[in-house]
Structure 1
Amino acid sequence: MRRLLLPTLSGVLYFLSWIGFGVWPLAFVCFVPLLWSLRDATPRRALWLGAWMGFVTHLGGYTWIMHVLQVFANAPLPLAFAGYLVLCAVQGLLFGVMSYVLVWMGRRTHWPAAALLPIALVATEFGYPLLFQSYTGIALMPVLPLVQIAELGGTLILSALQAVVNGALFDALEAWRFGKPAPVGAMMASLISLLGSATYGYVRLVRVEHVERAAPKVSIGLAQPNVGELELHENPLASVRTLQDETAELHARGAELVIWPEVGFNTRPLRPGDTDGRTIIGGVPVAAIIGAIRVDGRKVWNSALVVDDRARIGDHYDKIQLLAFGEYIPGGEWFPELYEWSPLSSPLARGQSTAPLRWRSWRFATFICYEDILPGIVRSIMADHGEGRAHAMVNLTNDSWYGAGHEQEQHLMLAAARSIEHRRWLLRATSTGISAFVNATGRVLQRIGRNQRGVALAEVPMLQGTTPYQLLGDWPGWVALAIIAGAALREAARAREHGAEKMPAR
């Protein structure tokens, strides 16, 4: 048990530093106890020590999982708690794989932790599959000057920055404890990374805000009805009537376009040939992007649609990345009775198009629910589909499933990183919070809090241009994997040479 003390401490420091608790300075020291516990560990032992740290990390940061399982799967509390433990273990194994890679590479390269930790962390965050995607570097989102480098390499480059500092601190601590020469190179790399990121960030903050001021603007409103999923099923009109009233209020205040949350219009599905949107927005002469269910034959989609200011239904986007156990159950196509055990889960079809929604001469890259935390999908939607890249990003979400924990804030901050990666405003409408305007620097300018009914209105700049991240994607992940592959190939070549030397001469 004593061996688990340091990984436990790292897990606690990690979730305290992350979004929710938000003690972000701890992000620069949270891996140091784990690294100390790995000093003499074998790769196999490192796997379990790192996995324990990841388990503790998720225990503290993902308590809302129990509420999700109780609501989604109708699970009793003991079963929901068991599912929470399993999910924490599976997601936490990411740090076990990271620790295994770190120790394996350290034994073969003898590089300092300031080099090993960013390589191992970035490679595993890039390659390890997660049900709920998260990135270590999101802990730095409250420090806007540091996170502007996300336009260069996405959230992975933020994780790398955090890892370099943690690794350098461990290298310095180890050198002090055992009387080794000071790790000047590691400390300089850490200092240069921090100062370089902050300097770049300050310059880009000024430049991006200047571009925003000069861009043409559209008056856009967000409507949050504060009607949760259970109430939507029990009283379908509750959400629609509230949203129609809020749309009228926003129109009276000058809104040209109003954003509704995910499946905000839920009184009936929309079918092919539906073109009249007057019953949707209640006759208010304003354009809207609304969440609704679309049906065509046996196919059902979770969709976003444009209704113009003449109440004509236009473009639609169908959700592509469906949420397991909510919008489909793995294996449900073979065992339909699974849906009887989870009555709020629905077998939905996946969308096929990533084209933006068009309104007037503007384009809106639109994604639904947790698609906004998936950089790859957002990047594909933000691509040029022949008419130019989208001018702004829209997210329709229903976070009422997640209870009163940290999920809503975590979701918002993970989504806000997309604004930096693509230098576009994010217009985020949710059913019960947190709806928000996020500008192109990742700053949350306005928000409607959790469990509140309300509206927000802003003059949104219609931005153009691209970023290195939009063009190159998650290149830090590929670089990290290439370095690990290079080390593995070199080790294999050495093993062949060693085996050849041992072969007897004939």
Structure 2
Amino acid sequence: MLGAAGVLAFAPVGWFAVNWLSLGGLFALLQAETGTARRVRRGALVAAAYGFGLFVAGVSWVYVSLSVFGGMPALLAGLATVLFCAVLALFPALAGALFVRLATPGWFRRALLFASLWTLAEWSRGWAFTGFPWLAAGYSQATPSPLAGYAPLLGVFGVSWSSALLGGLIFEVVRRWLSTEACSIRGWLRWCPALPLLATAVVLGGGALLHEVRWTQATGEPLSVALLQGNVAQDIKWRPERFFDSLRTYHRLAAENPARLTVLPETALPAFLDQVPGEYLDALQQLALRQNGDLLLGIAVADSRQYYNAALSLGAGGQQHYSKRHLVPFGEFVPAGFAWFMAMANIPMSDFTAGSPGQPPLRLAGQNVAVNICYEDAFGEEIIAALPAATLLVNLSNVAWFGDSLAPAQHLQIAQMRSLETGRMMLRATNTGMTAIVDIDGRVLSALPPFTRGALVGEVRGYSGATPYVRWGNWPVMVLAALLIAFTSSRQTMVPRA
């Protein structure tokens, strides 16, 4: 129940303080398992139950993609979703087991240990088996949370660490406040909640002050942009008879909304590049040249026997392209040994080749644009590979696979964190939502309503410079977490386990 309730901290609800209370509740449950008889297995089960509740409630949209749009039988899709969430729950389970095993006396030491183990578990989940960092605690703390100020310094996992630490501190404040020993003056002096309350204020105040720091500077002239949202339903998108409807939709939106940079969503044109009429591409190029600008569209590209999920630019900057480098397992490539699983689903374009990891930013409309496609923006260290050279971030997505679920809003919140980490604006063009412009401080400046057809027109700036996270990535917070684990467990007394 604590894990499921924790989903309320994430978009679209966005009650960010719930994450502190939810993790504080988990901290309390794990505290109860420590003592003279270390119940490591119970600690693992408690944390696994928390994680399972979090993921079942928060990523249930996996079922939608497999069953509703993937054509998989409902029972099998439900089983696959449950198993997926169970595997994800192994990471918090390991953190819980280690906490019970390593915890030593001292409320602050335990809070630091809990936060560090939780952070390392989330980081591990972000790269193991190609990675699934969705619902990392730090994402719930994107703007307007005061903890968002830590993002440019330590990245999303540093924000996770501060949120988990707050959970432990809040538990300690409540525990001391309600303690029966505090009924006497002597007991109150011993159990006074002032110290954990002060530590809580320091964590919150530090984040709020850092949020006022500007790590990057605007560069170049303001740039007019048009982000197109075609709102083509996933269940009809790939039908041959709908092909020319899609072409007409995006041509009309681009023609009616001139801008120096026009962005179409991921696989906006439902075909391979060589299947699109040449005169249509010429027409898009002419639309871009009206403003002496560029148009960026998502399309699949075939190269010999290899296929890429790509973004192609047309316009003043000439033809440039970016190929998606971090593919979605089962959605864009078939992991070894799982061909039988994919045979029970009907997922088009599910056998792509990953693009090169060293692709430079595209030069579009006078800016160096770091392009990322779909859930690539969930991987902060991959995004910063194009920085500080890139002055603008652009994401092309198609989350129509997940229908009217939590996924589109959660994905936008992830984009907010990337802007905070990098000090760059993020432009998101999606098929069905959420198409949005995100400022460098993580605020969503404007967004189109989901499941509507239209263009989001606005003015943005490129930014230069580098935040500490751009320079160092995740390593500082990982090293800090490892050192804190070693420090907070160093006084452990060996005791027999039950």
The TM tier, using the shorter chain, reads 0.7 to 0.9
Alignment equivalent of 2:196, drawn from 175, 186, 189: 186
Q: In 2 relative to 1, CA 360–259 (structure 1 residues): closer, same or farther, beyond 3 Å?
A: closer
Structure 1 residues 27-42: aligned runs within 5 Å? 27-41=19-33, 42=39
Alignment equivalent of 2:380, drawn from 366, 375, 391: 375
CA apart distance, 1:114: 2.8
CA apart distance, 1:107: 3.6
- Contact 2:104–2:489, Cα closer than 8 Å, also in 1: no
1:453 corresponds in structure 2 to: 453
Once residues 104 and 336 of structure 1 are traced to their aligned partners in structure 2, the CA distance between those partners, rounded to angstroms, is: 40
Q: In 2 relative to 1, CA 270–165 (structure 1 residues): closer, same or farther, beyond 3 Å?
A: same
Deviation string 1:426-474 (CA, Å, 9 cap, x unpaired) is 0110011111000111111111121110101111112111110000111
Once residues 319 and 280 of structure 1 are traced to their aligned partners in structure 2, the CA distance between those partners, rounded to angstroms, is: 22
Q: In 2 relative to 1, CA 90–178 (structure 1 residues): closer, same or farther, beyond 3 Å?
A: farther
- Contact 1:15–1:61, Cα closer than 8 Å, also in 2: yes
CA apart distance, 1:483: 3.2
SS in 1 for 2:71: coil
- Contact 2:146–2:205, Cα closer than 8 Å, also in 1: no
1:250 corresponds in structure 2 to: 257
Once residues 119 and 360 of structure 1 are traced to their aligned partners in structure 2, the CA distance between those partners, rounded to angstroms, is: 43
- Contact 2:271–2:299, Cα closer than 8 Å, also in 1: no
Which amino acid counterpart does residue 204 of structure 2 have in structure 1?
L
SS in 1 for 2:199: helix
- Contact 1:375–1:418, Cα closer than 8 Å, also in 2: yes
Does 2:314 correspond to 1:307?
A: yes
1:319 corresponds in structure 2 to: 324
Does 2:472 correspond to 1:472?
A: yes
Ranges in structure 2 where 5+ consecutive residues have no aligned partner: 34-38, 182-189
- Contact 1:262–1:369, Cα closer than 8 Å, also in 2: yes
Q: In 2 relative to 1, CA 216–316 (structure 1 residues): closer, same or farther, beyond 3 Å?
A: same
Structure 1 residues 86-105: aligned runs within 5 Å? 86-105=83-102
Q: In 2 relative to 1, CA 113–174 (structure 1 residues): closer, same or farther, beyond 3 Å?
A: farther
Once residues 338 and 97 of structure 1 are traced to their aligned partners in structure 2, the CA distance between those partners, rounded to angstroms, is: 28
Q: In 2 relative to 1, CA 110–199 (structure 1 residues): closer, same or farther, beyond 3 Å?
A: closer
CA apart distance, 1:256: 1.0
Once residues 104 and 275 of structure 1 are traced to their aligned partners in structure 2, the CA distance between those partners, rounded to angstroms, is: 67
Alignment equivalent of 1:17, drawn from 3, 6, 9: 9
Q: In 2 relative to 1, CA 359–21 (structure 1 residues): closer, same or farther, beyond 3 Å?
A: closer
Q: In 2 relative to 1, CA 247–153 (structure 1 residues): closer, same or farther, beyond 3 Å?
A: same
Structure 1, 103-112 or 44-53: larger mean CA deviation: 103-112
Once residues 425 and 304 of structure 1 are traced to their aligned partners in structure 2, the CA distance between those partners, rounded to angstroms, is: 19
CA apart distance, 1:167: 0.7
2:236 corresponds in structure 1 to: 231
1:177 corresponds in structure 2 to: 179
Alignment equivalent of 1:79, drawn from 72, 76, 79: 76
- Contact 1:232–1:238, Cα closer than 8 Å, also in 2: no
Once residues 38 and 138 of structure 1 are traced to their aligned partners in structure 2, the CA distance between those partners, rounded to angstroms, is: 23
SS in 2 for 1:80: helix
Q: In 2 relative to 1, CA 215–490 (structure 1 residues): closer, same or farther, beyond 3 Å?
A: farther
SS in 1 for 2:372: strand
Q: In 2 relative to 1, CA 366–378 (structure 1 residues): closer, same or farther, beyond 3 Å?
A: same
Instruction: Tell me the C-alpha RMSD between the 2 structures.
Output: 2.7
SS in 2 for 1:29: helix
Q: In 2 relative to 1, CA 226–141 (structure 1 residues): closer, same or farther, beyond 3 Å?
A: same
1:330 corresponds in structure 2 to: 335
Once residues 396 and 56 of structure 1 are traced to their aligned partners in structure 2, the CA distance between those partners, rounded to angstroms, is: 30
CA apart distance, 1:194: 0.7
- Contact 1:114–1:190, Cα closer than 8 Å, also in 2: no
CA apart distance, 1:169: 1.7
Provide TM-score, normalisation by structure 1: 0.85
Provide TM-score, normalisation by structure 2: 0.86
Q: In 2 relative to 1, CA 276–381 (structure 1 residues): closer, same or farther, beyond 3 Å?
A: farther
Structure 1 residues 41-190: aligned runs within 5 Å? 41=33, 42-71=39-68, 73-107=70-104, 111-128=108-125, 129=128, 130-131=131-132, 133-143=134-144, 145-175=146-176, 176-177=178-179, 179=181, 181-182=191-192, 184-190=194-200
Q: In 2 relative to 1, CA 194–487 (structure 1 residues): closer, same or farther, beyond 3 Å?
A: closer
SS in 2 for 1:125: helix
SS in 2 for 1:305: strand
CA apart distance, 1:132: 5.2
SS in 2 for 1:216: strand
SS in 2 for 1:236: helix
Structure 1, 456-465 or 284-293: larger mean CA deviation: 284-293
